[in-house]
Amino acid sequence: MNSISVRALLVRGMLAGLIAGAFALVVAYLLGEGPVDAAIAFEESHAHEHGGEELVSRTMQSTAGLATGVLLFGVAIGGIAALAFCFALGRIGRFGPRATAALVAFGALLSVYVVPYLKYPPNPPAVGDPETIGKRTTLYFLMILLSVLLSIAAVILGKRLAPRLGNWNATVAATAAFVVAAGLAFAFLPSFNEVPKGFPATVVWEFRLATLAIQVTVWTVFGLVFGHLAERLLAPAPAAAEGTSTASRAAAAAN
């Protein structure tokens, strides 16, 4: 794939990420703001001291701040996923641009979010010990790195086993290997249970479901939009190709 195609796909990936971010913003506002407000209310009601006026108002956080964060996140992951698409196209099987985009989006959702989510689920405000935030953040990103590397290893393993076991059996074997390896990581990495006493369990549950819904929205919309844009770039419409072929035959007949 030449540099011009990569650049064009990168731009389309960022555009698709922006569109995905816009959809995710709606989900975040509708599903996520309620649990966040409830968690903040719990934190304020149990706080013994107040540190003065907040630097950024809650209204600003839930509108412009939320929009900026989600949209920038969409653009960033769109660009990264587009580069991953450029590498994966033609290397993970005989898939077209749409199918490859869908597989990249699904793989990213699984490895970058779902697997780390199962080990270290996100928590709303007021949940978590401030003294362990550095350790928790480091372990979370370590889990993301391990999950991505294990996913890549599973794909490589599946491709190498396919000639001997067939595509289906190779896929099952590679998936099983990924699950076992991820399970070992879950077992050896430390866990945290820092939900304060009396904190509503429903708020934690609703917040975690909201974050999962946001990620599913981002990657689903990205996969659909980017797949369409990539296919239009890399595989022109058959009608256009047929029209070109007809014009060429007509010109040849005239000569």
pLDDT greater at residue 240 or residue 30? 30
The amino acid that residue 24 corresponds to is A
Residue 197 scores a pLDDT above 90: no
33 and 78 in a single domain? The answer is yes
In this prediction, residue 214 carries a pLDDT of: 93
Residue 51 lies in a domain: no
180 and 202 in a single domain? The answer is no
Region 25-29: what's the mean pLDDT? Answer: 91
27 and 72 in a single domain? The answer is yes
Taking CA atoms, 177 is separated from 106, 156, 158, 172, 180, in Å, by 18, 12, 10, 9, 5
Residue 243 lies in a domain: no
The amino acid that residue 175 corresponds to is T
Q: How confident is the model at residue 247 (pLDDT cuts 50, 70, 90)?
A: very low
In this prediction, residue 225 carries a pLDDT of: 95
- Give the residue ranges of DSSP H helices in the chain: 3-27, 33-45, 58-60, 66-88, 97-108, 115-119, 133-165, 167-188, 201-234, 238-254
**CA torsion, points 71, 77, 79, 82, in degrees to nearest 10?**
-130
141 and 230 in a single domain? The answer is no
8 and 132 in a single domain? The answer is no
177 and 205 in a single domain? The answer is no
174 and 202 in a single domain? The answer is no
pLDDT greater at residue 92 or residue 157? 157
Name the domain count of the chain: 2
Please give the structure tokens belonging to residue 202: 């429903």
**CA torsion, points 124, 126, 127, 128, in degrees to nearest 10?**
120
The pTM score is 0.82
212 and 159 in a single domain? The answer is no
In this prediction, residue 158 carries a pLDDT of: 87
Region 110-129: what's the mean pLDDT? Answer: 87
Residue 253 lies in a domain: no
Residue 145 lies in a domain: yes
Region 30-59: what's the mean pLDDT? Answer: 71
Q: Which pLDDT tens digit goes with each residue over 129-166?
A: 778 888 888 999 999 999 999 999 998 998 889 888 88
